[in-house]
């Protein structure tokens, strides 16, 4: 079991590098599944378990859905300010 701050830092960095809003996406659950699989794979490669991820962020699908929606809102704001 890894400490929570280390897992949170890994997830925050991973999200910043990998979660992007996809304009016109019609199947969010499928995109979230893809992201969750990739996050879990990368986390395991760094020595973090699924339980470590769950302790740090809760339900991975719910967390990534929120991060995806936030990325979309940020992209919309950036577009509107141009």
Read off the pLDDT of residues 18-56 as tens digits, 9 standing for 90 and up.
Answer: 998 777 778 889 999 999 999 999 999 999 999 999 999
Q: Tokens in use for 22?
A: 């996809």
pLDDT of residue 36: 96
User: Hey, where are the domains in the chain?
Assistant: 4-12+26-81
Q: Tokens in use for 80?
A: 């509107």
51 and 26 Cβ atoms separated by less than 8 Å: no
Residue 47: count other Cβ atoms within 10 Å of its Cβ: 10
- The answer to whether residue 80 scores a pLDDT higher than 70 is no
pTM as predicted: 0.84
């Amino acid at each position: 079991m890894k400490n929570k701050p280390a897992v949170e830092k890994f997830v925050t960095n991973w999200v910043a590098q990998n979660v992007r809003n996809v304009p016109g996406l019609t199947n969010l659950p499928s995109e979230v599944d893809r992201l969750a699989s990739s996050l879990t794979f990368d986390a395991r490669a760094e020595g973090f378990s699924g339980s470590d991820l769950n302790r740090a962020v809760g339900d991975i699908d719910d967390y990534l859905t929120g991060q995806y929606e936030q990325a979309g809102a940020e992209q919309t704001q950036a577009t509107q300010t141009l």
